[in-house]
Amino acid sequence: MADQQHQLPRQYHEAVLHWQRHNFPDYPRLEEQWDTYFPKDEPFCLCARIQQNMPDQIEVGDRTGQPKAIVPTELDPKAAEELLAIIRAQASTEFGSIQQHQATLARASDPQDQAWVLRVMAEELRHGYQMVHLLTSADWSPVTDTKPQDMVEEILSMKTGSHVLAAFNLEYDSFVDNVVFAAFIDRVGKYQLTMQKVNAYKPMAASMPPMLREEAFHLAAGVIPMRRWAEAAAKPDALITIETLQRAVCKWFGRGLEMFGDERGGKTAVKLGLKDKTNRVAQDEYIAEVERMLDDINQRYVRARFPRLSREEADTLYARVKADRGAIDGLSWDDDLLKLPHPGFFRRRGEYAFQMIGVDGATFDDVDRYIEHVRDHLPEAYLASVDLKHWADLQRGVVNGTVPLENALKSMPRLARVGGACPCANSVRWVVEVPANGGQESRLNP
% of the chain with per-residue pLDDT over 70: 92
Interacting residues of 142 by C-beta distance below 8 A, sequence separation 6+? 72, 73, 77, 80
Q: Pick the residue with more confidence: 154 or 444? A: 154
Half-sphere exposure of 431 (CA within 13 A, CB side): 25
Interacting residues of 424 by C-beta distance below 8 A, sequence separation 6+? 22, 430
Residues in the chain: 446
Alpha-carbon separation of residue 68 from 56, 275, 343 (angstroms): 6, 13, 36
The CATH classification of domain 3-301, taken from the options 1.10.620.20, 1.20.1050.10, 1.10.10.10, 3.40.930.10: 1.10.620.20
Where do runs of H (alpha helix) occur along 26-110? 27-37, 77-104
Angle of helix 386-400 relative to helix 367-375, nearest 10 degrees, comes to 160
Residue 32 has a CB neighbour count (10 Å cut-off) of 8
> What SS3 class is residue 49?
strand
Give tens-digit pLDDT for 328-350: 999 999 999 999 999 999 999 99
Angle of helix 279-305 relative to helix 311-324, nearest 10 degrees, comes to 130
CA distance 249 to 241: 13
pLDDT at 59 over 80: yes
How confident is the model over 188-203, as a mean pLDDT? 97
Give tens-digit pLDDT for 241-291: 999 999 999 999 999 999 999 999 999 999 999 999 999 999 999 999 999
Can you give the residue ranges of every domain in the chain? 3-301, 341-413
Alpha-carbon separation of residue 236 from 232, 304, 378 (angstroms): 8, 12, 23
Which residue from 208, 272, 245, 216 is spatially nearest to 50, judged by alpha carbons? 208
